[in-house]
Structure 1
Amino acid sequence: MKHVIMLYFIAAATLFSSCAKQDSEHRLITVKNSLDLPRAFETIEISKSDIQLHTGERFEDFSIQDVATKAILTSQFVDEDQDGTADVLLFQPELNPNSEKQFELVKVDGGVEVDSTVYCYSRFVPERTDDYTWENNKVAFRTYGPVAQKMVEDSLPGGTLSSGIDAWLKKVEYSIIDNWYAKNDKDPGYYHIDHGEGLDNFHVGSSRGVGGSAVKVDTSYYISKNFTDYKTITTGPIRTSFILKYADWDANEKTISEEKHISLDYGNNFSRFEIHVDGTDELSVGLTLHDNKGEITQNVDQGWIAYWESEYFDSELGTAIVAPKGVMTASEYYVTSMKDRSNLYAQLNVDNNKVVYYAGFAWKESKQYPTKASWEKYIQEFSEKLNTPLEVSIQ
Structure 2
Amino acid sequence: MRLTKCLLVAATIFSCTSACAQQVLNVSVSNTQGFERHEVVGIEVKKVATLLKKNQLQDIRIKSKQTGKSEAIQWVDNDSDGKPDELLFLAKVGANSKADFTLCSDKNLALPQSQLIAYSRFVPERTDDYAWENDRVAFRTYGPDAQRRTEQHLENGTLSSGIDLWLKRTTEPVINKWYKGYLTDPGFYHTDHGEGYDPYHVGASRGTGGTGVWYNDSLLVSKNFVTHKTIAEGPLRTIFELKYAPYGPYLVVETKRISLDVGSNFSKFVITYRSQKPLPNYTVGISLHKNEGQTGIDEKAGIFSHHEQIDGIYIGEGLVIDPEFVQKAFANKSKTPDQSNLLVLTKPSGKITYYSGFAWQKSGQIQNRSDWEAMLKKQAEILSHPLIVTIK
Say whether the 8 Å CA contact 1:136–1:267 is kept in structure 2: yes
Task: Give yes or no for the alignment of 1:375 onto 2:372.
Answer: yes
Whole-angstrom CA distance in 1 between matches of 2:246 and 2:60: 42
Q: 2:386 aligns with which of 356, 369, 389?
A: 389
Map Cα deviations across residues 272-305 of structure 1 (whole Å, 9 max, x no partner).
Answer: 0000111236311111001111111101100110
Task: Give yes or no for the alignment of 1:117 onto 2:130.
Answer: no
Q: What is the correspondence of 1:158-169 to structure 2 with a 5 Å cutoff?
A: 158-169=156-167
Whole-angstrom CA distance in 1 between matches of 2:240 and 2:315: 26
Unaligned 5+ segments in structure 2 are: 1-12
Task: Give yes or no for the alignment of 1:195 onto 2:187.
Answer: no
Whole-angstrom CA distance in 2 between matches of 1:390 and 1:349: 27
What secondary structure does 2:367 align onto?
Answer: coil
Whole-angstrom CA distance in 1 between matches of 2:280 and 2:56: 42
- Give the counterpart letter for 2:251 in structure 1: T
Say whether the 8 Å CA contact 1:79–1:233 is kept in structure 2: yes
TM-score scaled by structure 2? Answer: 0.92
- Give the counterpart letter for 2:144 in structure 1: P
The answer for the alignment partner of 2:9 in structure 1 is none
What secondary structure does 1:22 align onto?
Answer: helix
The answer for the alignment partner of 1:7 in structure 2 is none
Map Cα deviations across residues 328-385 of structure 1 (whole Å, 9 max, x no partner).
Answer: 232110012222010011122343x210000011111111112100011011111111
Identity percentage of aligned residues = 39
Q: Aligned in 2, Cα 1:391/1:325: closer, same or farther, shift over 3 Å? A: farther
The answer for the alignment partner of 1:269 in structure 2 is 265
The answer for the alignment partner of 1:3 in structure 2 is none
Whole-angstrom CA distance in 2 between matches of 1:18 and 1:68: 19
Q: What is the correspondence of 1:196-235 to structure 2 with a 5 Å cutoff?
A: 196-235=194-233
Whole-angstrom CA distance in 2 between matches of 1:334 and 1:219: 9
Whole-angstrom CA distance in 1 between matches of 2:100 and 2:290: 50
- Give the counterpart letter for 1:305 in structure 2: F
Say whether the 8 Å CA contact 2:61–2:111 is kept in structure 1: no
Say whether the 8 Å CA contact 1:369–1:375 is kept in structure 2: yes
Q: What is the correspondence of 1:228-243 to structure 2 with a 5 Å cutoff?
A: 228-243=226-241
Q: What is the correspondence of 1:338-353 to structure 2 with a 5 Å cutoff?
A: 338-351=336-349, 353=350
Q: Aligned in 2, Cα 1:85/1:281: closer, same or farther, shift over 3 Å? A: farther
Q: 1:321 aligns with which of 306, 319, 322?
A: 319
- Give the counterpart letter for 1:185 in structure 2: L
What secondary structure does 2:37 align onto?
Answer: coil
The structure with the largest alpha-carbon Rg is 2
Say whether the 8 Å CA contact 1:215–1:221 is kept in structure 2: yes
Whole-angstrom CA distance in 2 between matches of 1:45 and 1:339: 42
What secondary structure does 1:389 align onto?
Answer: coil
Task: Give yes or no for the alignment of 1:282 onto 2:281.
Answer: yes
Q: CA deviation at 1:111?
A: 5.1
Say whether the 8 Å CA contact 1:118–1:174 is kept in structure 2: no
Task: Give yes or no for the alignment of 1:337 onto 2:329.
Answer: no
Whole-angstrom CA distance in 1 between matches of 2:90 and 2:171: 18
How many aligned positions are there? 375
Say whether the 8 Å CA contact 1:48–1:59 is kept in structure 2: no
Task: Give yes or no for the alignment of 1:365 onto 2:362.
Answer: yes
Q: Aligned in 2, Cα 1:117/1:83: closer, same or farther, shift over 3 Å? A: same
Unaligned 5+ segments in structure 1 are: 1-15
Q: CA deviation at 1:58?
A: 3.6
Q: Aligned in 2, Cα 1:18/1:328: closer, same or farther, shift over 3 Å? A: farther
The answer for the alignment partner of 1:105 in structure 2 is 103
Say whether the 8 Å CA contact 2:62–2:71 is kept in structure 1: yes
Task: Give the number of the structure whose residues are more often helix, by fraction.
Answer: 2
- Give the counterpart letter for 1:30 in structure 2: S
Say whether the 8 Å CA contact 2:55–2:105 is kept in structure 1: no
Whole-angstrom CA distance in 1 between matches of 2:284 and 2:340: 12
Whole-angstrom CA distance in 2 between matches of 1:137 and 1:350: 34
Q: Aligned in 2, Cα 1:60/1:156: closer, same or farther, shift over 3 Å? A: same
Say whether the 8 Å CA contact 2:265–2:358 is kept in structure 1: yes
What secondary structure does 2:131 align onto?
Answer: strand
What secondary structure does 1:384 align onto?
Answer: helix
What secondary structure does 1:51 align onto?
Answer: helix
TM-score scaled by structure 1? Answer: 0.91
Q: CA deviation at 1:67?
A: 2.4
